[in-house]
Amino acid sequence: MAKKDTLLVLCECGNNIRDKIDLEAVRAWALGDSRISQVVSHELLCSSAGKVFFTAALKKFKLRHIIIAACSPRAHENTFRSLGVKAGVNLADVNLANIREQAAWVTANKEIATQKAITLIKAALARTEYHEKLELRSMECLTDVVVIGGGIAGMEAALLSSQAGRKVTIIEKNIALGGRVIHSEELAPNMECAPCLLSPRLFKIKDDPNIRVVSFAEAVEVVGFFGNYQVTAQKKARYVKESCIGCEACFEVCPVSVKSDFHLGLGSRKAIYTLFPGSIPAGAVIDRENCLHFKDGSCAACVSACPFAAIDFSEQDETLSFSAGAVILAIGSETHAPIQNRRLGLGLLDNVYTLAEFERLANSNGPTQGRILLKNGSPPSAVAVIHCAGSLSAEGLPFCSGTCCVMALKAGEFIRKQIPAAAVYNIHDRLVFPGPEMQSFFDKQVAHGTRLLKTPDLPSLTVAADQGQLLVTGKNLQPLRVDMVLLATGQQPAADSGKLADLLGIERSDSGFFKSDHYFLRTTGSTLDGIYAAGSCLGPVFADQAVLQAQSAAGEAVSRLVPGRQIELESMTTEIDPELCGGCKLCVSVCPYKAVSFLADQGVCAVNEAICRGCGTCAANCPSGAAQAKHFTREQIDAELEGILDD
Amino acid sequence: MTEFTPKIVAFVCNWCAYGGADNAGSQKLEYPAAVKLIRVMCSGRVEPEMVMQAFRQGADGVMVLGCHPGDCHYRNGNMKALRRFRLFSRLLAQFGIHQDRFVFDWVAASEGKKFQTVATRLAAAVQKLGPLSLTGYVRQGEPS
């Protein structure tokens, strides 16, 4: 025999329920039910007076189960559960029967609506018999942050996290911070000096006691979950001690010269090198592949040249480990320069460059110290920029990066600044200049002389060497003779993004960039809680957006990971009964959060309740009934079904 | 003989489909009163056995409604449910249950109108088929 231990609270919801459902009939039925002990009603339970009334009723009757026949639990389940918990009632024991949205508002006939309301209450009652207590759970968390990638986004995320008092580790793959912004001389649309923008921030990071920069390093393992991550990084030996200040005395004596990655292969560096003067860290690195000491032991010129005795050939690679509550990914993107661009002369003809390469030529820290020159050393008198090179095509990038048009027009400004008489052509089909700033930048460039040549047949363009110049031809285009051709190439995911995504267990979008947890609401959250992403690793962005995303990612991380405060966890998680589990791992494969793991030593699966969000998909897939979604167990749902069909 | 009123059970996910039904309510969009909801957190929680249990307990029609693809609150539970119930609906005839008694569909929290349409359509289809009488497993049942 069922216990009479339920309090039924009827809400009239003004006239919304009162006029559509015969609440007196409901009350009369309820008083005859074997489980309902008390029935009370209020005209508007969610009002201030209603809440006081509700709390008073809980305290007066002290019954185990509370069923509120009112509106949708989506509206007020939390309201009444919170009040219930305050009054000492368990979370699981406060439940709503939605007689407003599901009966009063959708049923014209009052008698039928009343009958349906009673059925809905019966269903709520039926499952209470199987209710088990739900726990309000929380967990201690680590509040430090690991940032992977030290470009403008990673630097911003680190600075903001530090400002909030968190310890930050930046793991940078390159030998120093700066990312791709430092490759530019000026940033459009306002032509702000990029090194001037970055330099003070680099020094701020250097002087920040909360921030540790681990450069020349890569993350190799990440384990854990939101609030408790362990990141392992492999740090390469620099063979130059931290006492190096980057004075470059060794550069002069080093006999080895190799192509510089920093100059995108357009310039050279020595086997001992820094990324750029004034980099952070400032110290040089010996390139083990090319250094003669490592090749055959024949050279130690740098050792004697160094005024600080900083050279140390015995340095070893290191494995470092960091604990953090959150990881912020800011690994950037790469220039997309596909093989198809060979018909545009890329890699085949002199004086054909991607825009990224051109930025190096125009940069005062570049291989020509900023002078825009042809291979023969003279300045170009005519330059063509070909838009959408490799983009918007099935064999190249299938999308518009949205950033190349602006960079393409910026090239014209760089050229005219040095060579005022030079002719600059932009061969394009579509143009993208979103917002007033970009539009006025575009208008200005056109006013200053950039000529636009529109053709709908961009894929038909070819570039050929012709009498010491370059000839651009194609359908619907007058053949164009120029000295230099620049390709406005798009942005593709960084080479490491696949490896990193696998390491972390996060998803990537079809284009290969890291996938946002939610396009609108959690752009900078990855698909795993506590792993954030910012900048162009989420998709091509300008520096301003990269900074905003970094602020968003760091902002969310530090506002959720607060020293001394626990992280609230889901109450309605899934549990796996090890007695029933057969270890088939179906649950492991369907969990969208990687919350379930297989315990090899015990041969069973287990849910990490710090990660589980309670969707119950694993429970539905469990063939043995070992996995049970709390508050949505088979028993509870079967009972509810019985109730709902009992009329 | 009393007139047949089909009983319909709708398994709805908390975030989208339940919201869609709420939205139908807010817009006062009437649908047959015999359509009743069982809320789960995600359509991925719904087991085929639950649907069978609903039929056994007297439902004449059952629906499982989740978030549209890409909208799942739990990333992709709805797609897990889709895979499960595509197969399931093909097996129904073996249990003597006409395929038209079961519907799997997507309803967004904003789609009150769609909830009303789906619910009304299933009720009408079941009305036409008449009451379900389950006599046993694996038999030549109602023609599909």
| Per-position DSSP letters for A544-586, written without gaps between them | HHHHHHHHHHHHHHHHHS-TT-PEEE-SS-EEE-TTT-----H
Q: Lowest mean pLDDT: which of A122-136, A258-272, A560-574, B127-141?
A: B127-141
**Sequence ranges of chain A with CATH classification 3.40.50:** 6-134
Give the position of tokens 């006691």: A209
| Closest Cβ opposite residue B21 in set A101, A113, A634 | A101
Work out the minimum CA distance from A404 to partner chain B, whole angstroms: 29
- Contact in structure between A614 and A573 (CB atoms under 8 Å): yes
- Contact in structure between A267 and A367 (CB atoms under 8 Å): yes
- pLDDT value at position A592? 87
- pLDDT value at position A3? 83
pLDDT surpasses 90 at A339: no
Q: Is the peptide bond before A189 cis (omega within 30 degrees of 0)?
A: yes
Q: How confident is the model at residue A340 (pLDDT cuts 50, 70, 90)?
A: confident
pLDDT surpasses 90 at A250: yes
Tell me if B74 and A619 make a contact (CB, 8 A cut-off).
no
Tokens of B86: 């595509």
| Closest Cβ opposite residue B21 in set A102, A120, A590 | A102
Looking at the structure, give the CATH architecture of the domain made up of residues A145-235+318-332+495-560: 3-Layer(bba) Sandwich (3.50)
Mean pLDDT, chain B, rounded, equals 92
- Nearest CA to A488 out of A374, A597, A605, A341 is that of A341
Tokens of A466: 């012709």
Tens-digit pLDDT profile for residues A411-458: 999 999 999 999 999 999 999 999 999 999 999 999 999 999 999 999
Q: How far is CA A132 from the centre of its chain?
A: 37
Give the position of tokens 């004034």: A278
Average pLDDT over residues A188-216: 96
Work out the minimum CA distance from A20 to partner chain B, whole angstroms: 12
Tell me if B42 and A637 make a contact (CB, 8 A cut-off).
no
**Which residues in chain B touch residue A107, judged by CB atoms under 8 angstroms apart?**
30, 33
Length of chain A: 647
- pLDDT value at position B70? 87
- pLDDT value at position A394? 87
Which ipTM value was assigned to this complex? 0.94
Within A91-178, where are the H helices? 110-128, 152-163
- Contact in structure between A372 and A185 (CB atoms under 8 Å): no
Tens-digit pLDDT profile for residues A593-612: 889 999 999 999 999 988 99
Taking the C-alpha atoms of residue A336 and residue A351, their distance in angstroms, rounded to an integer, is 18
**Which residues in chain B touch residue A109, judged by CB atoms under 8 angstroms apart?**
33
* Pairing status of strand A382-389 against strand A228-235: unpaired
- pLDDT value at position B143? 53
Select from A116, A615, A647 the residue whose CB has the most chain B CBs within 10 Å, as the one to mutate to test that interface.
A615
**Which residues in chain A touch residue B14, judged by CB atoms under 8 angstroms apart?**
74
Tens-digit pLDDT profile for residues A59-71: 999 999 999 999 9
Which residues neighbour B29 within 8 Å (Cβ) at sequence distance 6 or greater?
A: A106, B112, B113, B115, B116
Tens-digit pLDDT profile for residues B37-75: 999 999 999 999 999 999 999 999 999 999 999 889 998
Distances (CA, A) of A262 to A144, A178, A267, B81: 31, 11, 8, 50
**Sequence ranges of chain A with CATH classification 3.50.50.60:** 145-235+318-332+495-560, 335-492
Q: How confident is the model at residue A338 (pLDDT cuts 50, 70, 90)?
A: confident
Q: Is B46 on the interface with A (CB under 8 A)?
A: yes
pLDDT surpasses 90 at A303: yes
Select from A115, A624, A645 the residue whose CB has the most chain B CBs within 10 Å, as the one to mutate to test that interface.
A645
Q: Is the peptide bond before A281 cis (omega within 30 degrees of 0)?
A: yes
Sequence letter at residue A311: I
Which residues of chain A are at the B interface, by a Cβ-Cβ cutoff of 8 Å? 72-75, 98, 100-109, 112-113, 115-116, 119-120, 123, 527, 572, 590, 592-593, 613-617, 619-621, 629, 632, 634, 637-638, 640-642, 644-645
- φ/ψ of residue A322, rounded to 5: -130, 140
- φ/ψ of residue A416, rounded to 5: -65, -30
Average pLDDT over residues A523-544: 96
Q: How confident is the model at residue A525 (pLDDT cuts 50, 70, 90)?
A: very high
Mean pLDDT, chain A, rounded, equals 95
Sequence letter at residue A488: A
Task: Give domain B8-128's CATH superfamily.
Answer: Lumazine/riboflavin synthase (3.40.50.960)
Q: Is B76 on the interface with A (CB under 8 A)?
A: yes
pLDDT surpasses 70 at B140: no
**Which residues in chain A touch residue B26, judged by CB atoms under 8 angstroms apart?**
101, 105
Taking the C-alpha atoms of residue B37 and residue B44, their distance in angstroms, rounded to an integer, is 16
Q: Say what percent of chain A tops pLDDT 70.
A: 100
* CB contacts < 8 A (A, B): 120
- Nearest CA to A69 out of A119, A133, A15, A4 is that of A119
Tokens of A135: 């726990």
Tens-digit pLDDT profile for residues A168-180: 999 999 999 999 9
**Which residues in chain B touch residue A593, judged by CB atoms under 8 angstroms apart?**
74-75
Taking the C-alpha atoms of residue A383 and residue B25, their distance in angstroms, rounded to an integer, is 64
Distances (CA, A) of B64 to A321, A464, B101, B134: 47, 62, 11, 20
Q: How confident is the model at residue B137 (pLDDT cuts 50, 70, 90)?
A: low
Select from B40, B83, B132 the residue whose CB has the most chain A CBs within 10 Å, as the one to mutate to test that interface.
B40
Residue A304, H or E segment: helix A301-305
Q: Name the residue in chain A with its Cα closest to that of B14.
A: A74
Looking at the structure, give the CATH architecture of the domain made up of residues A6-134: 3-Layer(aba) Sandwich (3.40)
Q: Looking at per-residue confidence, does B3 or A484 come out higher?
A: A484
Give the position of tokens 């300045």: A379
Q: How confident is the model at residue A482 (pLDDT cuts 50, 70, 90)?
A: very high
Q: Is B106 on the interface with A (CB under 8 A)?
A: no
- Contact in structure between A451 and A423 (CB atoms under 8 Å): yes
| Closest Cβ opposite residue A616 in set B9, B22, B42 | B42
- Contact in structure between A34 and A1 (CB atoms under 8 Å): yes
| Closest Cβ opposite residue A641 in set B26, B33, B53 | B53
Tell me if B14 and A74 make a contact (CB, 8 A cut-off).
yes
Taking the C-alpha atoms of residue A125 and residue A643, their distance in angstroms, rounded to an integer, is 8
**Sequence ranges of chain A with CATH classification 3.30.70.20:** 568-630
Write down the domain spans for chain B.
8-128
Tokens of A401: 């990066």
**Which residues in chain B touch residue A527, judged by CB atoms under 8 angstroms apart?**
75
Within A362-505, where are the H helices? 404-418, 435-447, 497-504
Tokens of A481: 């003779």
pLDDT surpasses 70 at A260: yes
Q: How confident is the model at residue A235 (pLDDT cuts 50, 70, 90)?
A: very high
Tens-digit pLDDT profile for residues A77-121: 999 999 999 999 999 999 999 999 999 999 999 999 999 999 999
Select from A100, A106, A111 the residue whose CB has the most chain B CBs within 10 Å, as the one to mutate to test that interface.
A106
Q: Name the residue in chain B with its Cα closest to that of A120.
A: B36
Tokens of A137: 């759970």
Distance between start and end Cα atoms, chain A: 20
- Contact in structure between A380 and A422 (CB atoms under 8 Å): yes
pLDDT surpasses 80 at A404: yes
**Which residues in chain B touch residue A572, judged by CB atoms under 8 angstroms apart?**
41
Tell me if A112 and B29 make a contact (CB, 8 A cut-off).
no
Q: What fold, for A568-630? A: Alpha-Beta Plaits (3.30.70)
Average pLDDT over residues A580-590: 96
Rounded CA Rg of chain A? 33
Q: Lowest mean pLDDT: which of A38-42, A412-416, B38-42, B138-142?
A: B138-142
Tell me if B29 and A106 make a contact (CB, 8 A cut-off).
yes
Tokens of A565: 């405060």
- φ/ψ of residue B37, rounded to 5: -105, 140
* Pairing status of strand B35-40 against strand A627-629: unpaired
Give the position of tokens 């969707």: A615
Maximum Cα interatomic distance, chain B, rounded to a whole number of Å: 49
Give the position of tokens 């968390």: A141
Q: Of the CATH numbers 3.10.180.10, 3.50.50.60, 3.40.50.12160, 3.30.70.1380, which one belongs to the domain with range A335-492? A: 3.50.50.60
